[in-house]
Chains A and B, each alone.
Chain A
Amino acid sequence: MPEATARTRSKTRKPARNMYTPLPATVEKVIDESPTIKTIAMIPDEEFSFKTGEFIELTIPGIGEAPFTPSSSPLETKRMEVTVMKTGYVTEYIHRLKKGDRVGIRGPFGRGYPLEEMYGKEILILGGGCGFAPIRSLLYNLMAEKDKFRKVTLCYGSKTPEECIYKPFINELRSVEKFEVLRSVDKPDETWEEAVGVVTVLLDSIRVDIPNAVAVVCGPPVMMKFGTFKLLEMGFPENKIFLSMEKNMSCGLGKCGHCTMGKYFVCKDGPVFTYDEIKDQPDIWA
């Protein structure tokens, strides 16, 4: 038995990294995507890997943390990008970041997109606004494995042409075989040559081999709700619609309770769910 009593034990030992300790990273570049959306490119102090659809907590020391699904390729481990819309306290500070600033990354957390379930299938992706971020990471993954998929159709909607993000990436994607990109905006300007209306209007103009397809939806809650209903109407089975849910994820460990969605913790059991998994839980679109 140790002689020292509890009261004399030191409390100042240096910590080993645990699940609450962020991996420090340096901001490499800040890209303006739209008036309210920026992409932050970071170099973590150690290599960091994640699977597409999993999320991280981005720490701004002394300010707070917020959850983001990386928007960069999961195949890249030395560099990571997150795409952030300015909506609240922490994201306000994230938008002030500049090259060389130090941030922290915790994770990766949760359950991402099940790529294996998509092999051999046609993939219909429905994205809205900043919800393009997780989808871009998925698309990078799909591009790298394009022999394993039949076809990928991206339907992306935003409010205005100015708010369409990832313009260079869209151009790149349009040149890749098997990939098709359709876009719509709610309010067009004189330069806009693509569809007009909410993103679901794009679904009327496409052909999908539904028995051999899966759908992926990510965007603001109202878009996810009506997008899902439209897909169901088109005949997609409930277990073939993959939704990336947005809740107030904080710890990322399924413990703090802030992202409760009925019996699920979105951070641990999601954030990617099939519609049939969550349809009976309360307030899924709120």
Chain B
Amino acid sequence: MTKHYLISHENWDKVLNRAISKYLLYAPVIRENHQDYVLVEQEQDISHIIYNTAKPASPLKTFFLPVKENVVREPEGIPRIILGIPPCDLAGLEMLDTFYLEEPYVDPYYQDRRENTLLIGTDCFTAQEHCHCTTYGVSPAVEKYADIRLASHEGNMYLTVLTEKGEEFVREYMAGDAKETDESRMAPVREKSGQLKKELEERNSQLPGYERTGVLIRKSGEDIWEKYSADCVSCGACSSICPTCTCFLLIDRPEFEKIRSLDTCQHPAFERVAAGEDPLHSKAARFRNRYLCKYVWRPEKYNTLACTGCGRCIEACIGRINKNELFVELNT
């Protein structure tokens, strides 16, 4: 059912302007020294939206799992569009969906947000320093998990509609402005993401693949984890910005109200039981735990990627710990 459309950039901006009367629209813009999603509320803001650059600073998960929320209330049912999602974050959504929509405990807040959100992914034409999606089998081109795939090229927007939800949006907001076309017309943008794919593969050729990394972690000794965690301050930034880290803490308020607050195994006492036993008592054990989870346990149990190679954890680490250096060292 995949359909392709071409629309001028100018008309696409008009489409978005019509859409913001119904939807909350989040899209990436350039901030002082980084790019991140903002809520696009007015017509004049639409022209600031950027396309086809590598990932925004915030991972996609923040739209579905807020840092803090009351989980004893009705879901809100707010219609939203998230525009400009990079393929690495879309790949991370597979993990989140498997986890939060798994029977019998389908999370009502996650489900509500997923159902009411239109996902518009964008192919990456450029990469950032630590991008390594291709090492884990993720392509810089949007292949799945978005409703619409979008690329901007020489004054035109190239759309590929991947779902019924995406098709509905096209019918309602783009009728008349867009021209249906075929896959062959997409060649200029396909070529650009294809080029980036090659570049990334070359750049990260030393880095072991996803399964191989799991094997290496499993058989690793303690020394390497001690060494690389020496500069860790247990701040949890790596988990906060990770598109697939999902652990949380439940906080009890009066009147049986409960607050769900994102948490991480990097925090001391994360697994400590009341009597005092704590399997993750040392910093090195916590540090290693996060990678065991990402490369061994999650894929084993859910058969999905739990690291999509976005590289945010490397950028966010104030101790300048680079997990990729660790894995290259493990592999030699």
Chain A positions within 8 Å of B, measured between CB atoms, are: 1, 5-7, 9, 11, 13-16, 18-22, 24, 59-66, 85, 87-91, 104, 220-221, 246-248, 250-251, 253-263, 268, 282-283, 286
Contact = CB atoms under 8 A, between A and B. Distances in A.
Contacts of A268: 105
Given A19-B105, A247-B273, A9 B256 contact: no
B30 interface: no
B250 A62 contact: no
Given A255-B99, A257-B265, A15 B273 contact: no
Given A286-B277, A286-B279, A257 B263 contact: yes
Interface residues of B, number: 52
Contacts of A64: 251-252
B274 A66 contact: yes
Given A257-B247, A258-B271, A18 B256 contact: no
A255 B246 contact: yes
B215 interface: no
B55 interface: no
B211 interface: no
A263 B252 contact: no
A256 B254 contact: no
Interface of B: 21-24, 71-74, 76-80, 99-100, 102, 105, 107-108, 172, 246-256, 258, 260, 263, 265, 270-279, 289, 292-293, 296-297, 300-301
A18 B71 contact: yes
Contacts of B265: 257, 260
Contacts of B24: 6-7
A250 B252 contact: no
Contact of A250 (B249, B254, B279, B296): B249
A192 to B, nearest CB: 25
A18 B296 contact: no
A6 B81 CA distance: 12
Contacts of B251: 64
B249 A256 contact: yes
B256 A24 contact: yes
A61 B76 contact: no
B100 A255 contact: yes
Contacts, number: 128
A263 B296 contact: yes
A22 B72 CA distance: 9
Which of A59, A259, A286 is most buried by chain B, counting CB atoms within 10 A of its CB?
A286
Given A5-B21, A253-B107, 5 more contacts: A13-B73, A18-B108, A62-B253, A257-B263, A257-B265
Contact of B74 (A15, A22, A255, A286): A15
A-B CB proximity, top 6 nearest: A257-B247, A283-B279, A88-B274, A62-B254, A286-B279, A253-B105
A20 B260 contact: yes
Contact of A1 (B22, B74, B289): B22
A61 B277 contact: no
With most chain A CB atoms within 10 A of its CB, the pick from B99, B172, B272 is B272
Given A18-B108, A255-B248, A256-B250, A247 B271 contact: yes
B78 A9 contact: yes
Contacts of A87: 274-276
B183 to A, nearest CB: 31
A262 B270 CA distance: 14
Contacts of A104: 256
Contact of B77 (A9, A19, A258): A9
24 contacts: A1-B22, A1-B172, A6-B79, A6-B80, A9-B78, A15-B73, A19-B107, A21-B72, A21-B258, A61-B253, A62-B255, A64-B251, A64-B252, A85-B275, A91-B274, A248-B271, A250-B249, A253-B107, A260-B289, A261-B279, A268-B105, A282-B279, A282-B292, A283-B279
A248 B108 CA distance: 24
Contact of A62 (B22, B77, B248, B252): B252
